[in-house]
């Protein structure tokens, strides 16, 4: 798992006013050297990184941090986010979208990581 990205997302979740970031800005901030616009393989790489982080968070009964990462084109999470959530048994993709699962996960992440006890205890792995 990429701990730089996880730690960055945790710090981002602590920003209550703007807790989301685009895939490209995340790549740039974490120095991943990925090109989201021109390289489909790079989109797969960042999806795998985010998937590992969210699987880890799910296993530890915490919100899915990958909900904080959105597409530049429409400000929404990518399909991989919903497929991962479906695989983790949150529900089927269609229902997750209609229930605004992504916003619930963003809010849960913000609340969870702004709790100082959670932050101090679980920010580092």
Give me the average pLDDT of each 10-residue run along the chain (125 residues).
96 93 97 94 96 96 96 88 92 90 95 97 91
Q: Is 1 helix (H, G, I), strand (E, B) or coil?
A: coil
Domain ranges of the chain: 3-114
Run of H or E including 82: helix 79-87
Q: What is the pTM of this model?
A: 0.93
Burial 91-100 (b: 16+ CB within 10 A, else e): eeeeebbeee
């Amino acid at each position: 798992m990429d701990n730089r990205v996880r730690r960055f997302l945790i710090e981002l979740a602590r920003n209550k006013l703007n807790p989301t970031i685009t895939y490209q800005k995340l790549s740039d901030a974490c120095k991943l050297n990925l090109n989201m616009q021109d390289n489909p393989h790079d989109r797969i790489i960042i999806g795998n990184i985010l998937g590992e982080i969210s699987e880890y968070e799910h296993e530890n009964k915490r919100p899915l941090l990958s909900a904080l990462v959105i597409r530049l084109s429409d400000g929404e999470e990518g399909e991989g986010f919903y497929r991962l959530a479906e695989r983790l048994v949150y529900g089927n993709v269609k229902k997750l979208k209609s229930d605004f699962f992504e916003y619930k996960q963003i809010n849960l992440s913000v609340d969870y990581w702004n709790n100082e006890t959670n932050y101090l205890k679980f920010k580092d792995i």
